[in-house]
Structure 1
Amino acid sequence: MGGRGEDEDPRASLEGEKAKHLEAELTDDRFQEELRRTHRLGLPPADSIEDKALASTFQRGELPHFSGINTFLKAPFLEDVTKVGEHEVAVVGAPLDTGTTYRPGPRFGPEGMRRISSLYSPYYFEKGIDLREQLDMVDVGDIFITPANIEKAFDQITKGLEHLVAHGTFPVVLGGDHSIGFPTARGVMNAFGKKIGVIHFDRHLDTQKRDLDERMHTTPWYWAAHEHHFDLGNLVQIGIGGWQVPRPGVAPAREGGSLVMTAEDVERLGVEKTADLALEVAWSGGAEGVYLSFDIDAVDPGFAPGTGWPEPGGLYPREVLKLVRRFAAEGLLGMEIVEVSPPYDQSDVTSLLGVRLICEVLASSVAAGRLGRDRGGTPQTARAREIEERRAAAQGRDG
């Protein structure tokens, strides 16, 4: 082989080869627990079914992917939100699109992302992460929205996010148009009580004061900066550009000092330098936490057509996936995916990209020890230890 030494075997550096071995380190305790639960609640399968361990008469678990009641990733539905503090991650829908100024439809974003998330398993091959085994996640359903009154809807969203964060959970918000960025950030800040930064993916600045005489999806960061614990100097805006950036938003961004990077900036700098600069600004000036707000229209509409204001020339999926991995590894307070509009989607590809971004953040947070348990099931955070201790105590009581 041309004198190549044994230690130069290119296969040793392949991510796929490493992934095969990482899987062997994972436990399957939670999966086995789920199977026992499906048999208990859904009845054992018919006598003709050979794989009786996997099946039940009434579906109560992940499989089959094409059926069942869809929560996000088939995670347990938590009806009693007063018990959300017993879990580490809470997925919540904010189906508001009253703030759209062109094509509506993001009110169906939570439904669309939950539905297509059934296509996924909780296992991430490349990184050797299994969210079912390593993360205590629930879906708390949607916030009750008042579509005829956007300000009341904002108050509802703020109260919901404040409740989740105050109980120690990592919120994953399924939008909704980007007007929800203001009330979600407000709820996070109210509960967190310390200065935060925001990393914002978008094609649009969203920093103007008013649009059509109201607070709309073009205004969230102007108003968030008027709350305690956040100013535009800690706002990083990635992917901005094109022919849909309203001029009224430019002066507030300039005067407030947000960091604006276009899609071409990302291409020129590369993912790593882009991430370094974004993290430096978001965490600057005494910020003690960072919130991620991802508008799906930041991605080129060739990959994300299902949105209200599609603008060619946006970011590519691999770029944004790499970027959110970096941001999650540094630690996040929570995240939101907004402006997914299923009525304008093709084959659910935009909804699926939203799901993939969320999964990427959660998996990277687990891999970096920011959330959940390691592959062997050992808690990595104080929060995860508390949940594990409570779970063990409950199992002890149940015998």
Structure 2
Amino acid sequence: MFPGAVAEREDANFVVVGAPLDVSTTFQPGTRFGPRRIRTFAETFDDYDSRTTQHFSERQVHDHGDVHAWDDAAEYLEFLEGTLTDVVWDDAVPLLLGGEHTVSVAGVRATAPDVFVCLDAHLDLREEYDGNPLSHACVTRHALEVADEAIVLGARTGSESEWQRASREDVTVVPPESVGEWNFGDRLADREVYLSVDIDAADPAYAPGTGTMEPFGLEPREIRDVVREVAPHAVGFDVVEVNDRDDGQAATLAAKVCREFVFSRAAVDDGDSEDGDSGGTSLDTDD
């Protein structure tokens, strides 16, 4: 169980769902261990958040557990989408723990956002990778089959065809060196957003436990600040691509980012969101 996720399902405002898919991971596999490691390395965090004066255990978070993965990615995504759709129908926000980035496809399909916001080292705009259209390298392209727009922050690599696709009006790419000074302005106002955090958006110095490391990436604080800004508008969230190839740095960052999302999203209904009215789903709290 994710530490502090003590709410019963029928009372939940947020539902953690583990998705340990690991079928198309390139270079360093191990994302099947991601959800477990994220939960484990979250155990050291205090329940109280001084910035928002909230207790995580009072945010009505429920842990559904893992959706056991198998080798057929298409079938798995369909099943996972059903699980996440149930969460949405229960008026809760899904918190998806990956697993390879492919699992975000199920999250986007279940929440049907207007905008897909992604922190990622890679563009993920390929039509296929090694002949596989459901590769983790194709996630943003699949997201655009549902969402009207994709905003990718921290991207620093991609194929020539991906950069050409990224030049179209429905894609915005913010390079790592610009993320700290970039803001969304009113681009998210009155729009529903799905927020995806690929842990490889962080520089490998901070999160080496991921499949495809790419240097010159983001610092953890930059990722945190994006999550805080986007969370009030979000109808779904995931953090993905954590594996077991480090001493817990990637999992710790992923777990902290997940908590930051919950605190910032829940603050909307407490009336103390830094971004004001999100225009998103209203969540009930017991506070």
Normalising by structure 1, we get a TM-score of: 0.65
- The residue that corresponds to 1:394 in the other structure is none
- The residue that corresponds to 2:25 in the other structure is 100
Do structure 1's residue 127 and structure 2's residue 52 form an aligned pair?
yes
- The residue that corresponds to 1:275 in the other structure is 183
DSSP-derived class of the 1:92 partner: strand
State the aligned residue count: 278
CA contact under 8 A between 2:99 and 2:241: conserved in structure 1?
Answer: yes
Q: In terms of Rg, which structure is larger?
A: 1
C-alpha displacement of 1:74: 4.1
DSSP-derived class of the 1:110 partner: helix
CA contact under 8 A between 1:154 and 1:180: conserved in structure 2?
Answer: yes
User: Which whole-Å CA distance do the structure 1 matches of 2:282 and 2:156 have between them?
Assistant: 41
User: Which whole-Å CA distance do the structure 1 matches of 2:270 and 2:91 have between them?
Assistant: 13
CA shift digits 1:332-361 (9 cap, x unpaired): 11210011112x112x11101001101111
User: Which whole-Å CA distance do the structure 1 matches of 2:155 and 2:264 have between them?
Assistant: 25
Shift in alpha-carbon separation, 1:76–1:371, aligned structure 2, 3 A: farther
User: Which whole-Å CA distance do the structure 2 matches of 1:171 and 1:371 have between them?
Assistant: 22
CA contact under 8 A between 1:371 and 1:384: conserved in structure 2?
Answer: no
CA contact under 8 A between 1:296 and 1:337: conserved in structure 2?
Answer: yes
Q: Higher relative contact order at CA 8 Å, sep ≥6: structure 1 or structure 2?
A: 2
- The one of 140, 150, 162 equivalent to 1:249 is 162
- The residue that corresponds to 2:151 in the other structure is 236
DSSP-derived class of the 2:255 partner: helix
Do structure 1's residue 182 and structure 2's residue 105 form an aligned pair?
yes
CA contact under 8 A between 1:88 and 1:169: conserved in structure 2?
Answer: yes
What is the identity, as a one-letter code, of the residue corresponding to 1:207?
Answer: L
Do structure 1's residue 110 and structure 2's residue 18 form an aligned pair?
no
What is the identity, as a one-letter code, of the residue corresponding to 1:211?
Answer: Y
| Higher helix proportion (structure 1 or 2) | 1
Shift in alpha-carbon separation, 1:113–1:88, aligned structure 2, 3 A: same
C-alpha displacement of 1:136: 0.9
User: Which whole-Å CA distance do the structure 2 matches of 1:203 and 1:371 have between them?
Assistant: 34
CA contact under 8 A between 1:208 and 1:250: conserved in structure 2?
Answer: no
DSSP-derived class of the 1:174 partner: strand
CA shift digits 1:146-201 (9 cap, x unpaired): 1x211111111111111111111111110011111212111112xxxxx5211100
| Aligned-pair identity (%) | 28
What do you get for the CA RMSD once the two structures are aligned? 2.3
User: Which whole-Å CA distance do the structure 1 matches of 2:151 and 2:271 have between them?
Assistant: 24
User: Which whole-Å CA distance do the structure 1 matches of 2:222 and 2:282 have between them?
Assistant: 32
Give the gaps of 5 or more residues in structure 2. 273-280
What is the identity, as a one-letter code, of the residue corresponding to 1:137?
Answer: V
Residues 1-399 of structure 1 aligned to structure 2 (within 5 Å): 71-76=1-6, 84-133=9-58, 135-146=59-70, 148-189=71-112, 195-214=113-132, 215-227=134-146, 230-231=147-148, 234-242=149-157, 245-255=158-168, 257-267=170-180, 270=181, 274-277=182-185, 280=187, 282-283=188-189, 288-328=191-231, 330-342=232-244, 344-346=245-247, 348-369=248-269, 383-384=283-284, 388=286
What is the identity, as a one-letter code, of the residue corresponding to 2:192?
Answer: G
CA shift digits 1:216-262 (9 cap, x unpaired): 001012123224xx23xx211000104xx233322322235300010
| Higher strand proportion (structure 1 or 2) | 2
C-alpha displacement of 1:125: 2.6
CA contact under 8 A between 2:123 and 2:155: conserved in structure 1?
Answer: yes
User: Which whole-Å CA distance do the structure 1 matches of 2:271 and 2:119 have between them?
Assistant: 23
User: Which whole-Å CA distance do the structure 2 matches of 1:371 and 1:152 have between them?
Assistant: 41
Give the gaps of 5 or more residues in structure 1. 1-70, 79-83, 190-194, 373-380, 389-399
